[in-house]
Amino acid sequence: MNLAGIFSWNEQTKAVFSDIRKYIGPGLLVTVGFIDPGNWAANVAAGSIYGYKLLWMVTLSTIMLILLQHNAAHLGIVTGECLSEAATRHLPTFISRPVLASACLAACATAMAELLGGAIALQMLFGIPLKIGTVMLLALVIWFILGTAYRRAERFIIGFVSLIGLSFIFELWLVPTDWRAAASGWVIPAFPAGSLPVIMSVLGAVVMPHNLFLHSEIIQSRQWNLESEETIRYQLKFEFLDTLISMGIGWAINSAMILMAAATFYVNKLQVTELAQAKEMLQPMLGSSAAMVFAIALLLAGIASSITAGMAGGSIFAGIFGEPFNSSDVHTRNGILLTMLLGTAAIFFVEDTFKGLIYSQVLLSIQLPWTIFMQIYLTSSKKVMGSHANTIFGAILLWGVAVIVTFLNVMLLLDFLK
């Protein structure tokens, strides 16, 4: 027996797992952005109205998300700049400013959905009025973002994602899921009559423009771009693993939302029009514990995703001035405050909270192509990325994603014009 060989293999294995543990984290901050209250609204609507038929949209969106998020993180690692900084530096102002301004508005729409979802959860749990709950969450989120470093935020988000995932495992354990219909729904595209707005809301809820900006920013907390060329290539592999694992967790949780809604509401011919209504319907069917777990998980999702929305808004705004995210800097602080305050203000004008959540996601999907086109251009440019520019095959995949997203947006526009 070659003990030296075994010892060497064990040491190498320990080193690999140590690297994995060290590099896992940024992707999970992005993951919480697409298991947010907007997703809950979109997924509950999809499952309660169409059963298992729209699960394919979660699969397609997640595949596109992996490609896009890895590409955004790639930009951050190689250049040391976030997407907003790179756009400001390398694109003409008449192109970069409108796209980044629309991205700021998308971040505000995201913050509105996240805060609203959290406030709905507070109302479910404690009877706190919606607007008061929104202001409470606003204060908590701003305090957390301005006083928290990246690594602490990562640990916080990882804990919340874990609790949300466990909550849906518990919910699925209670319901009789049709796994054959689910397996078909995950891989076979279907467009039931009247489903396009819901399909678009699912797309907007998974592939979110603010997450592309956020991922390119938070990956720099590792300062990978300061290493040697060989080290950068090694670290890019771990970044992809981080993205793959994190997006896979998001796919599972989003799927679980649709499965739960299909197995409880759709089979009983109950269409859900409000998240609070979903909790009330769950209680007689699955018991008070299921309803309580649903509300607690929604609150966790609202808080965590509000934090990442504020961080993304701060990153985009600071990037317009050619600066990285820095919670001590005036531009970053202004971006955070602008994002969160405008998102809060919008809630005070929303009459139907469920439709507010759904259409906030549709708004994100309308802005998304502009961010994607800009990102692909930058990451395909040798001037920006050097030897790490997109390969021909990678560019084809990314442009394919851009075409699919644009096509779905055109379909949505035509549907609204009918």
Reduced 3-state DSSP string for the chain: CCHHHHHHHHHHHHHHHHHHHHHCCHHHHHHHHHCCHHHHHHHHHHHHHHCCCCHHHHHHHHHHHHHHHHHHHHHHHHHCCCHHHHHHHHCCHHHHHHHHHHHHHHHHHHHHHHHHHHHHHHHHHHCCCHHHHHHHHHHHHHHHHHCCCHHHHHHHHHHHHHHHHHHHHHHHHHCCCCHHHHHHHHHCCCCCCCCHHHHHHHHHHHCCHHHHHHHHHHHHHHCHHHCCHHHHHHHHHHHHHHHHHHHHHHHHHHHHHHHHHHHHHHCCCCCCCCHHHHHHHHHHHHCHHHHHHHHHHHHHHHHHHHHHHHHHHHHHHHHHCCCCCCCCCHHHHHHHHHHHHHHHHHHCCCCCHHHHHHHHHHHHHHHHHHHHHHHHHHHHCHHHHHHHCCCHHHHHHHHHHHHHHHHHHHHHHHHHHC
Cα 124 from Cα 288, distance rounded (Å): 12
CATH number of the domain where residue 412 is located: 1.20.1740.10
Instruction: Kindly give the confidence (pLDDT) of every residue in the chain, 418 residues in length, as a single tens digit, with 9 standing for 90 and above.
Output: 444 554 444 555 555 555 555 666 677 778 887 788 877 878 888 999 999 999 999 999 899 889 999 999 989 888 889 999 999 999 999 999 999 999 999 999 899 989 998 999 999 899 999 999 999 999 999 999 988 766 677 778 888 888 888 888 888 888 889 999 999 999 999 989 888 878 877 776 677 888 999 999 888 765 555 556 766 676 777 788 888 888 899 999 999 999 999 998 898 888 886 777 777 777 767 777 888 888 899 999 999 999 999 999 999 999 999 998 988 899 999 999 999 999 999 888 877 776 776 677 677 777 888 999 999 999 999 999 998 899 999 999 999 988 888 887 777 666 666 6
Alpha carbon 133 to its chain's center: 23
Beta-carbon count within 10 A of 173 CB:
9
Radius of gyration (Cα) for the chain, nearest Å?
A: 21
**Residue 248, domain member (yes or no):** yes
**Residue 11, domain member (yes or no):** no
Query: Which token pair is 128?
Result: 């706190």
**Residue 303, domain member (yes or no):** yes
Cα 370 from Cα 406, distance rounded (Å): 9
Cα 375 from Cα 87, distance rounded (Å): 8
Task: For the chain, report the end-to-end CA distance as a whole number of angstroms.
Answer: 75
Cα 142 from Cα 114, distance rounded (Å): 13
What pLDDT sits at residue 228?
A: 62
Task: Please say whether the beta carbons of 254 and 270 come within 8 A.
Answer: no
Task: Please say whether the beta carbons of 250 and 206 come within 8 A.
Answer: yes
**Residue 358, domain member (yes or no):** yes
What pLDDT sits at residue 240?
A: 82
Range of the structural domain that residue 141 is part of: 27-417
**Residue 52, domain member (yes or no):** yes
Alpha carbon 61 to its chain's center: 11
* Number of independent structural domains in the chain: 1
**Residue 16, domain member (yes or no):** no
What pLDDT sits at residue 383?
A: 94
**Nearest partner of 73 among 216, 232, 210, judged by Cα:** 216
What pLDDT sits at residue 404?
A: 85
Task: Please say whether the beta carbons of 408 and 200 come within 8 A.
Answer: yes
What pLDDT sits at residue 128?
A: 95
**Residue 332, domain member (yes or no):** yes
Alpha carbon 24 to its chain's center: 16
Cα 225 from Cα 219, distance rounded (Å): 10
**Nearest partner of 325 among 133, 31, 82, judged by Cα:** 82
**Residue 183, domain member (yes or no):** yes
**Nearest partner of 134 among 254, 35, 253, 37, judged by Cα:** 37
Q: Which residues contact 297 (CB under 8 A, 6 or more apart)?
A: 163, 164, 167, 168
pTM: 0.86
